[in-house]
């Protein structure tokens, strides 16, 4: 009955959800004729020699995190096809980069006819869900078709756990068909257990995000960009910023320029549809702006470099001295973003006070004094000035931290 009511409500609101998904935005890749895949009209895989392993990621972040795991999975099972699904077109853009390892299809909307169509055409033997992207009909019909379902790199914040506790019947509906939940840490496992997941279904594998694979060309491209931006000037990056954060960042950068006139801010908005808005905001505040997509020989001479591209975060962080991680200044709306990317590159990290999505990781970084938490513009400014003055980068402590906690890919493949 609960699933029936859920399906009815989803049917009613799906036009709004689909409008949001398909709406054209600057910097957002179009779906083109592939929109039909959201409705279960899924093309069969080119390699249908065996039943494939189905890896579901939502968007860009999950897809990037899944890449080392998919590489390891393919190495262990070279003859088994892998299909990777994403909901968004930006996620699809990332998935295309590993098309030699896995074929991409769009995730069908969570309505019975669409899920059945996908399963009928793809016929997966196993479904692996990245993090905690749980959809009732997907799990129900996949389990009904005999597909083993595991959640990998699973995380459950206390905030999310508290919400699920209020609607336990819905959580049980979500979790009934799941065979294994491979958690990032013991805190996540304990929260799943408190919600009624049997201990036999829970394993702790660590976070896949620790197993970052940094290609040498990424380092080289980052160094090349830095040489163009100016090797001797102080450069900081504000990564994955959201609405109402850029104003805060720009105010800090304006004051920083009074101390360090040649300082450069690499500004990376989280969502591509906001690139033009952020560019306008910078110009309205009288900054000298250059954009990555419109580079010329003189375009690197500004005091703000707007990174209006997708999938280049590691390259951009490599080009900076210090990294401020966004999504952490706007209350409980976002809960921070992945601080392990700058850590893997040995860049000093600063974040705002809202980081519940990465609490365990940031707590560990605080224990080794490898991250700074700032609440005000004055605190961020002071932190930047201290770090630019000390010039203690790259930070070898951070790279050791990453190496110490790596191995989640190997452990996850073992359980799969």
Q: What is the pLDDT of residues 245-296, one digit of tens each?
A: 999 999 999 999 999 999 999 999 998 889 999 999 999 999 999 999 986 5
Instruction: Single out the residue of 153, 333, 308 nearest to residue 242, CA to CA.
Output: 333
Rounded-to-integer distance, Cα 389 and Cα 382, Å: 11
Instruction: Single out the residue of 31, 127, 140 nearest to residue 85, CA to CA.
Output: 127
pLDDT band at 82 (very low <50, low <70, confident <90, very high): very high
Known catalytic residue: 62? yes
The predicted model scores a pTM of: 0.75
Length of the chain: 416
Q: Find how far residue 80's CA is from the centre of its chain.
A: 26
pLDDT band at 173 (very low <50, low <70, confident <90, very high): confident
Number of neighbours of residue 415 by Cβ within 10 angstroms? 11
pLDDT of residue 345: 92
Condensed to tens digits (0 to 9), the pLDDT of residues 186-205 reads: 999 999 999 989 999 999 99
Average pLDDT over residues 343-370: 91
Condensed to tens digits (0 to 9), the pLDDT of residues 106-123 reads: 999 999 999 999 999 999
Sign of the Cα torsion 333, 180, 39, 3 reads negative
Average pLDDT over residues 224-251: 95
More confident residue, 59 or 69: 69
pLDDT of residue 142: 96
Spatial CB neighbours of 137, under 8 Å, sequence gap ≥ 6: 3, 6, 7, 110, 111, 112, 115
pLDDT of residue 236: 98
CA dist 98 → 70, 86, 416 (Å) = 9, 13, 20
Number of neighbours of residue 206 by Cβ within 10 angstroms? 20
Q: What radius of gyration do the chain's Cα atoms show?
A: 22
Which of the 8 DSSP states describes residue 400?
H
Bridging pattern class, strands 322-325 and 53-56: unpaired
Rounded-to-integer distance, Cα 114 and Cα 100, Å: 27
Rounded-to-integer distance, Cα 363 and Cα 357, Å: 12
Share of the chain above pLDDT 90, in %: 62
Instruction: Single out the residue of 398, 347, 62 nearest to residue 209, CA to CA.
Output: 62
pLDDT of residue 114: 96
Structure tokens, 132: 């905690």
Share of the chain above pLDDT 70, in %: 98
pLDDT score of 343 more than 60: yes
Rounded-to-integer distance, Cα 265 and Cα 302, Å: 9
CB burial readout 125-139, b (16+ within 10 A) else e: ebbbbbbbbbbbbbb
Active-site residue identified among 37, 62, 103, 246: 62
pLDDT band at 93 (very low <50, low <70, confident <90, very high): confident
All domains of the chain, ordered by start, with CATH?
12-212+408-415 (3.40.50.11720), 217-398 (3.40.50.2000)
Kindly report which listed range (41-45, 333-337, 379-383, 394-398) carries the lowest average pLDDT score: 394-398
Cis (ω within 30 of 0) for the bond into 394? yes
Sign of the Cα torsion 293, 295, 299, 303 reads positive
Instruction: Single out the residue of 173, 171, 103 nearest to residue 141, CA to CA.
Output: 173
Average pLDDT over residues 316-331: 94
Torsion angles phi and psi, residue 274, rounded to 5: -100, 0
What 3-state DSSP class applies to 299?
Answer: helix
Torsion angles phi and psi, residue 236, rounded to 5: -125, 155
């Amino acid at each position: 009955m609960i699933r029936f009511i859920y399906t009815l409500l989803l049917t009613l609101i799906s036009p709004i959800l689909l409008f949001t998904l398909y709406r054209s935005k600057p910097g957002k890749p179009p779906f083109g004729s592939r929109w039909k895949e959201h409705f279960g009209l899924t093309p069969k895989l080119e390699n249908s020699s065996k039943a494939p392993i189905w890896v579901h990621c939502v968007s860009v972040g999950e897809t990037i995190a899944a890449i080392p795991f998919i590489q390891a999975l393919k190495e262990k099972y070279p003859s088994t096809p892998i299909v990777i699904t994403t909901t968004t077109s930006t996620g699809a853009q990332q998935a295309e980069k590993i098309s030699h390892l896995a074929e991409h299809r769009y995730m069908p909307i969570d309505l019975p006819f669409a899920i059945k169509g996908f399963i009928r055409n793809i016929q997966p033997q196993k479904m692996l869900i990245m993090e905690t992207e749980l959809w009732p009909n997907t799990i129900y019909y996949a389990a009904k078709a005999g597909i083993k379902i595991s959640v990998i790199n699973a995380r459950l914040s206390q905030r999310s756990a508290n919400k699920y506790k209020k609607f336990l019947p819905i959580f049980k509906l979500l979790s009934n068909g799941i065979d294994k939940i491979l958690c990032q840490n013991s805190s996540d496992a304990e929260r799943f257990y408190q919600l009624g997941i049997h201990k036999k279904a829970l394993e702790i594998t660590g976070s896949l995000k620790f197993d970052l694979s940094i290609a040498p060309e990424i380092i080289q491209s980052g160094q090349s960009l830095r040489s163009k931006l100016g090797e001797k000037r102080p450069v900081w990056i504000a990564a994955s910023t959201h609405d109402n954060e850029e104003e805060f960042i720009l105010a800090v950068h304006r004051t920083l320029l009074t101390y360090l006139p040649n300082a450069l801010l690499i500004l990376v908005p989280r969502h591509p549809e906001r690139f033009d808005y952020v560019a306008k905001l910078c110009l309205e505040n009288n900054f000298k702006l250059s954009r990555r997509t419109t580079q010329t020989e003189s375009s690197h001479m500004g005091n703000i470099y707007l990174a209006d591209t997708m999938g280049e975060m590691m390259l951009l962080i490599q080009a900076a001295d210090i990294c401020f991680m966004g999504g952490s200044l706007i209350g409980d709306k976002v809960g921070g973003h992945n601080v392990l990317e700058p850590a893997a590159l040995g860049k000093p990290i600063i974040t705002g006070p809202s980081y519940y999505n990465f609490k365990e990781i940031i707590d560990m970084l605080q224990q080794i004094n490898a991250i700074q938490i700032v609440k005000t513009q004055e605190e961020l400014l002071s932190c930047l000035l201290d770090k630019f003055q000390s010039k203690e980068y790259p930070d070898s402590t951070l790279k050791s931290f990453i190496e110490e906690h790596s191995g989640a890919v190997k452990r996850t493949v073992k359980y799969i």
